Amino acid sequence: MKQIYTLLFLLCASWSSAQQYQVVSIGFYNFENLFDTLDTPDVRDTEFTPDGTRQWTPARYREKLKNLARVVSELGTELTPDGPAILGVAEVENRSVLEDFVREEAIRDRNYQIVHYDSPDFRGIDVALLYQPKYFQLLGSDTIRLALVNADSGQVITRDILHVHGQLGDQPLHVLVNHWPSRRGGEKATRPMRNAAAQANQNYADSLRSSDPGAGVLIMGDFNDDPVNPSVTKHLKGKKKKETVRPGEFFNPWVPFYKKGLGTLAYRDAWSLFDQILVSENLLSKSDDRYFYFKASIYNPPYLIQPMGHYRGYPFRTFDFDEYISGYSDHFPVVIYLVRPL
- CA neighbor of 112 nearest in space, from 143, 75, 79, 145: 75
Share of the chain above pLDDT 90, in %: 86
Domain borders along the chain are 25-135+221-334
Output the pLDDT for position 17: 55
Taking the C-alpha atoms of residue 322 and residue 37, their distance in angstroms, rounded to an integer, is: 16
Largest CA distance in the chain: 61
**Mean of the pLDDT values across residues 174-198?**
95
Output the pLDDT for position 14: 53
Tell me the per-residue pLDDT of 260-298, one tens digit each, with 9 for 90 and over.
Answer: 999 999 998 899 999 999 999 999 999 889 999 999 999
- Give pTM, 2 decimals: 0.95
Tell me the per-residue pLDDT of 79-122, one tens digit each, with 9 for 90 and over.
Answer: 999 999 999 999 999 999 999 999 999 999 999 999 999 999 98
Taking the C-alpha atoms of residue 242 and residue 49, their distance in angstroms, rounded to an integer, is: 47
Q: What is the mean pLDDT of the chain?
A: 93
Tell me the per-residue pLDDT of 224-265, one tens digit each, with 9 for 90 and over.
Answer: 999 999 999 999 999 999 999 999 999 999 999 999 999 999
Taking the C-alpha atoms of residue 196 and residue 148, their distance in angstroms, rounded to an integer, is: 7
Output the pLDDT for position 307: 92
**Mean of the pLDDT values across residues 168-194?**
95
**Mean of the pLDDT values across residues 10-38?**
83
**Mean of the pLDDT values across residues 56-76?**
98
- CA neighbor of 68 nearest in space, from 37, 26, 97: 97
Output the pLDDT for position 147: 84
Tell me the per-residue pLDDT of 200-235, one tens digit each, with 9 for 90 and over.
Answer: 999 999 999 999 999 999 999 999 999 999 999 999
Output the pLDDT for position 234: 98
